[in-house]
Structure 1
Amino acid sequence: MSDMAPGHDSEHIIRVRGVRNAFGEQVVHDGLDLDVRRGEILGVVGGSGTGKSVLMRSIIGLQTPTDGDIQVFGEPTIGREETEAVEVRKRWGVLFQGGALFSTLTVAENVQVPLREFYPGLSQSLLAEIANYKVVMTGLPAEAGPKYPSELSGGMKKRAGLARALALDPELLFLDEPTAGLDPIGAAAFDELTKSLQHSLGLTVFLITHDLDTLHAICDRVAVLADKKVIAVGTIPELLALDHPWIQEYFNGPRGRAAVDSAERAAAGATPHPSPAPAPARPDMR
């Protein structure tokens, strides 16, 4: 009997077994397995071409593997009819690389896109109220709502994309390189925002990143992609105990050591952060 039966394991929100992804003769994944635990921030790392984004796209249904099984919330995601997958897709949000905002829509209109798709009966006033709530929740000023993506900085675009990813009050959040292109201060602020939202909203976060500071600052565990599969999953100290050459080079190289030093300094000098300003009262979508 397969251990991938629906509802088998409530501890794991995502279960991937034996996934194979190939594009013509190029095999990206072969026999890839991965579990993502409920409530954790899982960092996903790997060298260029290891298929980190392909794995995420496979999980959310944008890429169909040539073999294997994937379950999210105990439900299979491969081979399902579109109507069957809708209820599961409502339960996750996705921040793609660069924010992936619609350039002809304002920030508020971008946030409203998933609401209009899944709840077409919502009034315009309620859509506007929810969008404003999500914009403020991600640390943007309310005045950002009427702006177009071209009027935003890189960091603001990421936050606007995050606001859209949170539009449906998801339980699971996918983040693809959320701090790429940000300066160190902006990246650290986004990390802090991610951790704060994960804690306050009870999110599970699947986080693709190259940022070693992010891995040390907010990730509970890290999954390493190499050799066409996930070769290891664990805390950073657990990964450092392994002798795989890519893991050692990645975490013990100059940037890895600098990230460790930075994390240790932050831990030694940590002071309580002031509580963030309260968000406006949450709209009711019922």
Structure 2
Amino acid sequence: MIQIVNLHKMFGEHKVLTGINLTIPEGKTCVILGGSGSGKTVLMKHMIGLLKPDEGQVIVDGEDLVPLGDARLEQIRRKFGMVFQAAALFDSMTVYENVAFPLREHRKELSEEQIRALVRSKLELMSLPPSVEAKFPADLSGGMRKRVGLARAVVMEPKIVLYDEPTTGLDPITTDSVDEMILAAQARLKVTSVVISHDIASAFNVGDYIAFLSKGLIIEFGPPEQLRSSEHPIVKNFLQTWFGKN
């Protein structure tokens, strides 16, 4: 579903990505794991066409994004749903209005009745009761806000869902809830999921594959058990530091 080929990106004199190669199979969850400043967010922005590389290809569903103009990129981006770190809901809108927003922006042909049916089906998919529709984001717990954010991300029925640090700042119980949400969305919707994270426990919970990013390169890629047994010194140190605390 996503193929990154020899991707390079510099900002000024600073090399951020230095030859990324990555293949993410359709219908699977890939976690991009790495410490702060490793290039995770820059890589994600290339996947959705928000940044152009200095060199390399970003192939999404068979089409290279790099040479595309703005109009075609906008069409390609509709294949993506995005779940942000803080859910990024509109505070002045109810839950219902937040989830309906992408439909009203991009699906002008839908009637209000059709919009209502789609919003309710996605909230139900996220195990949110009808009573939540009239609430505002400030009335919700952190875990519920994440679920509403995911409902909004999938209401356009994308092929790919990107999660930007979805468990940052959450307590362990809410983190487990978010992990379950990611797994449920992947299983029920058959989407391809890409999770940007530095949370090792979450990565091992949700990832079919983990790509470990360090200093602009993917230095290890494979299923979680492959990472656990990695002999790469940077990966070993990263995992040992975490396992030593837990």
- TM-score (norm: length of structure 2): 0.92
Pairs within 5 Å for 1:153-192: 153-192=141-180
Task: Say how many residue pairs are matched.
Answer: 246
- TM superposition shift of 1:206: 0.5
- Residue 243 of structure 2 corresponds to 256
Q: Determine which of 221, 226, 245 is the counterpart of 2:209.
A: 221
Specify the code of the residue in structure 2 equivalent to 1:217. N
Q: 1:205 to 1:55 in 2, by over 3 A?
A: same
* Residues 85-138 of structure 1: CA deviation (Å, up to 9, x unaligned): 344322221111111112222222221222123211212222222112212211
- Residue 101 of structure 2 corresponds to 113
Specify the code of the residue in structure 1 equivalent to 2:243. G
- Residue 50 of structure 1 corresponds to 38
Contact 1:212 1:256 in 2 (8 A): no
The answer for unaligned runs of 5 or more in structure 1 is 1-12, 260-286
Contact 2:142 2:174 in 1 (8 A): no
Larger deviation: 60-69 or 41-50? 60-69
Structure 1 counterpart SS, 2:59 = strand
* Residues 184-239 of structure 1: CA deviation (Å, up to 9, x unaligned): 11111221222122112212111112222222222111001112111110123322
- TM superposition shift of 1:42: 0.7
- Structure whose CA Rg is larger: 1
Contact 1:154 1:181 in 2 (8 A): no
Structure 1 counterpart SS, 2:16 = strand
Pairs within 5 Å for 1:1-150: 13-150=1-138
Specify the code of the residue in structure 1 equivalent to 2:70. E
- TM superposition shift of 1:69: 0.9
Contact 2:39 2:215 in 1 (8 A): no
The answer for unaligned runs of 5 or more in structure 2 is none
Identity %: 35
**C-alpha separation in 1, matches of 2:210 and 2:32:** 6
**C-alpha separation in 1, matches of 2:149 and 2:196:** 15
Specify the code of the residue in structure 1 equivalent to 2:7. V
